[in-house]
Amino acid sequence: MSKPNRQMNLNAFLMNVGHHEAAWRHPHTEPQNITDIHYFKKLAQIAEAAKFDSLFLADGLAVSQNIKHGAYIGLEPFTLLSALAAVTEHIGLIGTVSTTYNEPFHLARKFASLDHISKGRAGWNIVTSGSEYEARNFSKNGHLEHSKRYERAREFLEVVTGLWDSWEDDAIVSDKQAGIFADDTKVRELNHAGETFHVQGPLNISRSPQGYPVLVQAGSSEDGREFAARHAEAIFTAQQTLEEAQQFYADVKSRAARYGRNPDQLKILPGICAVLGATESEAKEKEAYLNELTVPAYGLNQLSNMLKIDLFQYPLDGPLPALPGVNEINGNKSRYQLVADLAQRENLTIRQLIHRLAGGRGHRTFAGTAVQVADQLEEWFQTGASDGFNVMPPYLPGGLEEFAEQVVPELQRRGLFRTEYDSATLRGHFGLDRPANRYASAGVSL
């Protein structure tokens, strides 16, 4: 049997009624759907029918947008993904959860529970939270400084993975006759005592089908790259150009190798917001139409938050003012850099920049035919820029349906994407190893 082609991984990144900030104004969307499980069930079924690797949910812990003109509010990831687990069979379920405003015991437990409920389809997108708005919802005086957040994240992950290992896979024996429920030599306290956390354990749920959910990471700063290279199994990253994406890919894969890891066990998945049309000009018109629907006050608020500068005082059709240096940014550092570079490289006015960011908030937007989109994806995939993509439909459900009906079959024809699921877990879809239990052969007792 010949070795099959290397396969692309595709996540369906679901957000409200679409990723474009004006999606809610599009005639084909129904914004009241954002809290309706039937709507998300439909999206999940479209994505599963198209054999996507996973559903991907972003998250934030505060309303920081101009709510008058649009807002990222809606269902919480654990509850939504659990509900979707019950109505799907194959597709992975990746939820974003912050290490900054959570307790490791709660998080370890909920992900283990989701992994059990979905029979091995859970993934955790690890973020450290980037805004002071979130701090204010959690009784914190200020937002933790960037490198401190990553320190906390590293310890958090140590605790969480320790809790996932606190029950060996075969700890529950259920010997009714002998009255032995669990082999208590295979269940252990963690007794973590670190800088930030003191956690005894064991977890109050058994080890889940995947051992750990797939560990995804979504920061591309220096701290973020190091964290990903050591710990992540997939990276969701924003890359505007092929060259930058290739540099990022090579950099992170080589960092992983330096940590003694197999670089194939770390999937790099840039975001792509594809606006599809029957012809290129139709696609461009659709994109322009969406951009016309944007409300400047909304985009200005978003961009001001991102760049930490009040842009309302500058002319919309003038250039960006001088920006603070990246060292002064205590939020999403890599996204800040990307936006600053983009504005400078293309010499954009504030309005033009808002339009460029409206589709994907810094992720790449591309308008074209299904063949053109597939060409772009194939080029990035084949030239060392990505292992697959986080697909960010501009409006929903239409944009996902179009991608599923037009782009996926094109990728399948090219032998780049599965036509059937051949595994039952998200690790299986991504080709990732199941993590061994750190205690399983060590013979350490409780």
Distance (Å) of CA 79 to CA 93, 232, 233, 237: 11, 24, 24, 25
Q: Give, in degrees to the nearest 5, the angle at Cα 282 between 418 and 339.
A: 75
Read off the tokens for 251.
């950099």
Give dist(CA 84, CA 78) in Å, integer. 10
**CB distance 434 to 210 below 8 Å:** yes
Q: Which stretch binds its own copies (CB under 8 A): 3-11, 82-90, 343-351, 436-444?
A: 82-90
Per rule CB under 8 A, is residue 394 in the interface with its own copies? no
Read off the tokens for 120.
């091995």
Amino acid type, 363 = H
Residues 269-298, interacting with its own copies (CB under 8 A): 293, 295
Nearest to 252 by CA among 223, 273, 272: 223
Burial of 272 from C-beta contacts in 10 A (0-12 / 13-18 / 19+): buried
Residue 388: strand pairing partners: 9
Per rule CB under 8 A, is residue 439 in the interface with its own copies? no
Per-position x/- string for 191-230, each x denoting binding to its own copies as judged by CB under 8 A, each - no binding? -----xxxxxxxxxxx-x----------------------
Per rule CB under 8 A, is residue 91 in the interface with its own copies? no
Query: Annotation-wise, does 96 bind a ligand?
Result: yes
Residue 405 is classified by DSSP as I
Residues 125-144, interacting with its own copies (CB under 8 A): 133, 136-140
Q: Which stretch binds its own copies (CB under 8 A): 49-57, 96-104, 143-151, 419-427?
A: 96-104
What is the closest distance, in whole angstroms, from the C-beta atom of residue 99 to its own copies in the complex?
14
**CB distance 369 to 275 below 8 Å:** no
Query: Annotation-wise, does 100 bind a ligand?
Result: no
**Cβ atoms within 10 A of the Cβ of 108, count?**
29
Question: Where do runs of H (alpha helix) occur along 118-176?
Answer: 132-135, 146-164
Residues 6-25, interacting with its own copies (CB under 8 A): 24-25
Per rule CB under 8 A, is residue 110 in the interface with its own copies? yes
Q: Which stretch binds its own copies (CB under 8 A): 28-36, 268-276, 402-410, 417-425?
A: 28-36
Q: Which stretch binds its own copies (CB under 8 A): 173-181, 240-248, 306-314, 429-437?
A: 173-181
Give dist(CA 367, CA 278) in Å, integer. 11
What is the closest distance, in whole angstroms, from the C-beta atom of residue 38 to its own copies in the complex?
9
Q: Sort residue 419 into left (φ over 0), alpha (ψ -120 to 50) or beta.
A: alpha
**CB distance 107 to 87 below 8 Å:** no
What is the closest distance, in whole angstroms, from the C-beta atom of residue 409 to its own copies in the complex?
29
**CB distance 170 to 421 below 8 Å:** no
Per rule CB under 8 A, is residue 316 in the interface with its own copies? no
Per rule CB under 8 A, is residue 69 in the interface with its own copies? yes
Read off the tokens for 207.
């080890």
What is the closest distance, in whole angstroms, from the C-beta atom of residue 302 to its own copies in the complex?
13
Per rule CB under 8 A, is residue 63 in the interface with its own copies? yes
Q: How many residues bind its own copies (CB under 8 A)?
A: 76
Candidates 32, 147, 382, 419; binder of its own copies (CB under 8 A) is 32
Q: Sort residue 338 into left (φ over 0), alpha (ψ -120 to 50) or beta.
A: alpha
Q: Which stretch binds its own copies (CB under 8 A): 79-87, 317-325, 367-375, 381-389?
A: 79-87
Query: Annotation-wise, does 82 bind a ligand?
Result: no
Q: Name the residue nearer to its own copies (CB basis): 112 or 232.
A: 112
What is the closest distance, in whole angstroms, from the C-beta atom of residue 332 to its own copies in the complex?
18
CA dihedral sign of residues 94, 221, 19, 280: negative
Q: Which stretch binds its own copies (CB under 8 A): 99-107, 284-292, 342-350, 375-383?
A: 99-107
Query: Annotation-wise, does 355 bind a ligand?
Result: no
Q: Name the residue nearer to its own copies (CB basis): 86 or 322.
A: 86
What is the closest distance, in whole angstroms, from the C-beta atom of residue 311 to its own copies in the complex?
19
Distance (Å) of CA 195 to CA 159, 208, 431: 12, 28, 35
Q: Name the residue nearer to its own copies (CB basis): 174 or 441.
A: 174
Per rule CB under 8 A, is residue 41 in the interface with its own copies? yes
**Cβ atoms within 10 A of the Cβ of 173, count?**
12
What is the closest distance, in whole angstroms, from the C-beta atom of residue 9 to its own copies in the complex?
25
* Summary count for the chain: helices (H), strands (E): 15, 13
Query: Annotation-wise, does 146 bind a ligand?
Result: yes
What is the closest distance, in whole angstroms, from the C-beta atom of residue 184 to its own copies in the complex?
4
What is the closest distance, in whole angstroms, from the C-beta atom of residue 239 to its own copies in the complex?
28
Per rule CB under 8 A, is residue 445 in the interface with its own copies? no
In the annotated binding site for FMN, the residues are 59, 96, 146, 150, 220-221
